[in-house]
Amino acid sequence: MSKRFYKDVLREALIEEMERDSNVFLLGEDIEVYGGAFRVTEKLNEMFGSMRVMDTPISEQAQTGIAIGAAIAGKRPVLEMMYMDWIGLTLDQMVNQASLLHYVYDGQVKLPFVMRTQGGARASASAQHSKSLEAWFCHIPGIKVVSPSTPYDAKGLLKAAIRDDNPVLFIEHKLLYGTRGEVPEEEYILPIGKADIKREGSDCTVIATSAMVLEALEAAEELEKEGISIEVVDPRTLVPFDKETVKESIEKTNHAVIVHEAWKTGGFGGEIAAIIAEEMFDSLDAPVIRLGAKDCPIPYSPGLEPLTVPNKDDIIAAVKKSLQ
């Protein structure tokens, strides 16, 4: 094991999969020469050439259509969608093509296609570069949705996504690229659809996604000083969602707080809360509490932006409310 940056292990995963399988290729805006907006594909064109690391025109719909066509033809495209905010431009291709073709062709067509994108706020990137829109795609059958919070998870799940025969939306967070964590030197792959307990506890389960996992862990440290033990569950993949790990945790703690950076209204936290209410209600000693961003555009202002999304203090307050 060695400590490595989130951004660097994503690059390692791409290199390893491209070396393993000549059908894997990368496409996206500014990924070939510039190395991508967040430098994940830096110098990969020198290693694999412009036919496997290719810049595309500024047309998100066209990029997605190219990737889908290539996947049908037997390739394994990895498309970098520079910002999640622009993913709406891909919806026709994703909703009416990528998610359906395996079904409508009765299994004769496979769609081994990964869309890498990043979302999230707290970087003063403005309202058009700070959204968390994962719930849109969780609603569409046929698309897997992955959202790793650590370098270890990011590498193992990206490799799994590339090898999967289904469309996978792979969501990164701009604040996580500079985080470091322990990653094995040898090859490993993590299963899509398996949650991870980032910290064990006994008083309250906090189900957190993406960068909110780090906020939850900080909250756990603070609460421990007050004698409150929280268990932090990271779903890692939203679709498929690991109900069993959540159920086992709630059966132990009898309390649940859900936190994500997406807007609270219509966010995937509502689906998690519904699952808990329908399937784990008897294990609860208090109502489920959801935390999400305020229902407003994400401000550019460094003073205002942090006020719109949850943080460790919000999580602490929610846990204490649940335990009252």
Q: What is the largest CA-CA distance in the chain?
A: 60
**Which of 102, 129, 255, 260 does the annotation list as catalytic?**
129
CA atoms within 13 A on the CB side of 296: 10
129 catalytic residue (yes or no)? yes
Give how far Cα 56 sits from Cα of 83, 115, 179, Å: 15, 14, 29
β-partners of residue 272 are none
In DSSP terms, which residues pair with 171 in a beta bridge?
A: 117
Query: Is 60 considered catalytic here?
Result: yes
Q: Active-site residue among 60, 80, 172, 261? A: 60
Residues with Cβ within 8 Å of residue 67, at least 6 apart in sequence: 27, 77, 79, 113, 115
Whether the link from the prior residue into 57 is cis, omega within 30° of 0, is: no
Pairing of strands 144-146, 237-239: antiparallel
d(CA 122, CA 20): 36
For the chain, how many residues are written?
Answer: 324
- Other C-beta atoms closer than 10 Å to the C-beta of 142 total 17
Catalytic residues: 60, 129
